[in-house]
Structure 1
Amino acid sequence: MEKSTMKNSKLPKKSPSASNMMEQLPQKVILHILSRLPLISLLQSKLVCRAWQILIQDPLLITKHFLHMAEAHNDPSFILQSNWPIPDQLYFIDFSSHTEGDDQVIISKKLPNFAMFMCLADSCNGLLCMHNTSQSIYICNPFTRLYIELPKLTKYARPGQLWLGFDPISKVYKVIQIVFQRYLRRSLGNSFVPSQNLIQSEVQILTIGSLAWRNLGMIPYRLIRPTSKVMVNGRLHWLSKPNKYTTASSLISFQLATEQFQEVPKPDCCGSSLDRCFHGLVVLRGCLSAGSYHENYEQLEIWVMKEYGVKESWIKEFSIGTTYVPRTFNQQDIIFFNNSRLHFPNSFVGILCILKSGEMLLKYNGRALVLYDPHQGTFKDLTFPEMPNQFQIVEHIGSLKWLEIPS
């Protein structure tokens, strides 16, 4: 008869619960581990147990996680927003999980919108600035769905161009609105006449936590549409038309601490000539950078300011052919794309970032995302399920962070 082994068999040990594991590890070690998780994984960890939910909502972990995401040498993440053809589509795109050879962005998470018919304006420190078609402007965290509505600015029928910035000196967030005045009146003695040739814009600013906007007056600039700001050296930067009769662009900066505008020097090759003016700004490896077209808009040069504020430090670092047409384009997209070469060069092709692989992420008319390999000279379309065919996109650090408003 076969001897029974039942007495000698051992039942499997019960796995320790998440709470027990947390009790066995020092708090410092737990924070160190969790602060290095991708945001999506951190959000999923809240579902493990109530103890983890409480821990992940701890302000110390939220701050530690944000600082790690901001300082880590990872590929960036983005918020992509679209109202066409389906309204209120909001996606988080994480390129840190994109692997070489993929035809798709690995992680794309559709986010719930907190209000209807919202338009994406800007991103800063894990927060979004959004507005609707009326006068309502919001600051929100798309992951926690926390939001505040800013005080109304009733002077205009709808918001102008909006940007969100953080002043590291005073530790406050500020929203800047710039509205181009198409027709201003200038004083001629005691009479007033329309001035159609004068380029001026009105600047409003709001320190978040205050009750009212402040008027900073007029500036002699018209920001080029569509335009996005870049933050370098504690300053916001934009491209502007210096006057009505030139296509050349000026590079202007705004210091959040002093609330002063200043022009930034450009290289000599980007003077007043049409084919050498800047058409888009980006931060590459911490340096202020800009795109410049030439040769009938078939080449996009990327210029980098290696030493901030030093005109002689501008160098041409990349040259990208712009004749590639994304495979996702339909016939109407192709027609619009070709027309953009001459009529909308600032929205034609733009660079978003350089990935760790050395590939460059390009956007095409807000209708396609493409990876360009500068070493091989090859292009690769990027898509994800339900990707809209018209969108706005901004670089965004996914975070559970919320506003710290001084009392």
Structure 2
Amino acid sequence: MDTSTIAISFSEPDERHAPREPRKGIENLPVEISHKILASLPVLHLVQCRYVSRALRQLSHEVSLLNMHLTRIGKKNPSLIFHCLDSTVNKLHFVELSDPICDNKTVYEVDIPFRTVMPDKVHILDSCNGLVCISDEFCRDPFYIYNPFTGRYKKLSKSKQFQKQTVEVGFGLDPINNEYKLIKMVYYDDPCTGLLSQNVFTCGFPSYPHSEVQVCDIVSNSWRSIGSIPWHSRRHSTGHFGSPHDIFCLNGRLYWLMGSEAQYGYIDINCVPRIISFNLSDEEFQVVKKPACGSLNKHNYLLLALGGCLSAAVYSNDGKVEMWIMKEYNVQESWIKEFVIEASPRNIDVGVQPSPNVTFFYVHGIWATRVLHGYAVRALCFLKNGDVLLEYKDGKLASYDPQNGEITDLKLQGLPTRFNTVVHVGSLNWIE
């Protein structure tokens, strides 16, 4: 059997009629020692421990162990979740990256228990502490919070809807109150005011004059409104709905790009994009300062998280990618250009080649990112050895060594032909 096609589905074992077994081995150790041993295991091995005995299953549910495991796993190479972009397939796959990275790692299919009841194509909004937030590709209700390694999930209640609306959604953890939240920023038309804006568009989507911020407290599964977005503007997008990590959570804040203000019935495409953050604890918006050199004053970069810091990948017409990292939150002087990636072509077939010095967008399924000279690359994360994990539009993964500039392809068994990659910390964590 081809192991790459094995679908794995995790569920809690039924212990209603399980006989009690004598404690042995690790189960006889002091709890503190048992936790240290179990916390060092890869997440798949920790899941398998739940099926060994009742005692180990009880140990694997203890909050202190889950927190310790999450902390240790966060210091290792991450897991990766791949969303297959085939229009006829609604599947997720995952792989645990070893340390050091080695070829021929097997990619497994992950069962989505609620897949059959979702109206359209599955889309992963973001990953946080082992949990992923899933919706359809247009960010429509319902939203699901799902742990792919335990199979547990929660369907969120429906939020307030408007007749004409577009939405932006972010998911993350409020570290102060230890609460997971889903933030829904809604742009809408209100027929009662007469201020309609059907002729105003951003990246092909209508830009509406009204906004409302809706917050779902995930444990209580309740929605509330906290007012409007402070700026009458649309998000500066490099693609369309469903673009990977348009909005992402880092250290208790959501980040995204916003630009192009609506004025006098049209969108000013030359408006300099702003970096916006939303604090999940005090639920306040803030404009993030950019480097004084002006490198982030154009529409040629994507935001991401690298090494626990807000970062920006700045694309140039010569195919190079500058990686800027903000070492201290909202301190302008802390923006540092760490390195430059030589984004060499990866045997990508894009059909008609663009003319020189032309920057354009290529939207493929729900995968969209900046494309220059027909080639696209996206930085995903730092690996434990200091390399940067890269994803290319043609369905290749590679590691980049900032010290010598070498790019090494990663060969994974069972990888979907076309996919979007989500960096994921595999954990048995849950929302409560």
TM-score (norm 2): 0.76
Q: How many Å separate the matches in 2 of 1:280 and 1:115?
A: 32
Is the counterpart of residue 221 in structure 1 residue 225 in structure 2? no
Is the counterpart of residue 255 in structure 1 residue 279 in structure 2? yes
**Equivalent in the alignment of 2:57:** 53
Q: Residues 257-289 of structure 1, C-alpha deviation per residue, up to 9 Å, x if partnerless? A: 121111111113336864xx4521222222221
**Equivalent in the alignment of 1:93:** 95
**Equivalent in the alignment of 1:236:** 254
Q: 1:212 to 1:305 in 2, by over 3 A?
A: closer
Contact 2:321 2:342 in 1 (8 A): yes
Contact 1:90 1:111 in 2 (8 A): yes
Shift of 1:46: 2.5
Within a 5 Å distance, the mapping from 1:1-400 to structure 2 comes to 19-22=23-26, 24-70=28-74, 73-95=75-97, 97-99=98-100, 102-104=102-104, 106=105, 108-116=107-115, 117-132=121-136, 135-153=141-159, 155=161, 160-181=167-188, 192=195, 194=197, 196=199, 202-208=212-218, 209-214=220-225, 216-218=227-229, 219-223=231-235, 224=237, 225=239, 226=243, 227-243=245-261, 244-247=267-270, 248-270=272-294, 274=298, 277=299, 279-294=301-316, 296-322=317-343, 324-327=344-347, 329=348, 331-332=349-350, 341-344=359-362, 346=370, 348-365=376-393, 367-400=395-428
Shift of 1:333: 7.6
Contact 1:165 1:173 in 2 (8 A): yes
Q: 1:350 to 1:83 in 2, by over 3 A?
A: closer
Shift of 1:349: 2.1
Contact 1:290 1:304 in 2 (8 A): yes
- For CA contacts below 8 A with separation 6 or more, give which structure has more relative contact order: 2
Q: How many Å separate the matches in 1 of 2:380 and 2:176?
A: 28
Shift of 1:76: 2.2
Shift of 1:202: 4.1
Q: How many Å separate the matches in 2 of 1:164 and 1:268?
A: 30
Q: How many residues align?
A: 372
Secondary structure at the aligned position of 1:75 is classed as coil
Match of 2:430 among 399, 402, 405: 402
Contact 1:92 1:109 in 2 (8 A): yes
Shift of 1:175: 0.3
Q: How many Å separate the matches in 2 of 1:370 and 1:141?
A: 26
Contact 1:120 1:392 in 2 (8 A): no
Percent identity over the alignment is 32
Secondary structure at the aligned position of 1:342 is classed as strand
Q: List runs of 5+ in structure 1 lacking aligned partners.
A: 1-16
Shift of 1:232: 4.0
Q: How many Å separate the matches in 2 of 1:85 and 1:103?
A: 28
Q: How many Å separate the matches in 2 of 1:210 and 1:107?
A: 36
Q: List runs of 5+ in structure 2 lacking aligned partners.
A: 1-20, 116-120, 201-206, 262-266, 363-368
Of stretches 300-309 and 277-286 in structure 1, the one that deviates more from structure 2 is 277-286
Shift of 1:155: 1.2
Secondary structure at the aligned position of 1:292 is classed as strand
Q: 1:339 to 1:88 in 2, by over 3 A?
A: farther
Secondary structure at the aligned position of 1:325 is classed as coil
Shift of 1:92: 2.2
Secondary structure at the aligned position of 1:357 is classed as coil
Shift of 1:318: 0.9
Secondary structure at the aligned position of 1:212 is classed as strand
Shift of 1:193: 5.6
Q: How many Å separate the matches in 1 of 2:351 and 2:42?
A: 35
CA RMSD of aligned residues (A): 3.3
Q: How many Å separate the matches in 2 of 1:28 and 1:272?
A: 48
Q: How many Å separate the matches in 1 of 2:401 and 2:287?
A: 33
Contact 2:91 2:112 in 1 (8 A): yes
Shift of 1:335: 6.1
Larger radius of gyration: 1
Amino acid at match of 1:268: A
Determine which structure has the larger helix proportion and give its number: 1
Q: 1:186 to 1:280 in 2, by over 3 A?
A: farther
Contact 1:129 1:164 in 2 (8 A): yes
Secondary structure at the aligned position of 1:301 is classed as strand
Secondary structure at the aligned position of 2:24 is classed as helix
**Equivalent in the alignment of 1:7:** none
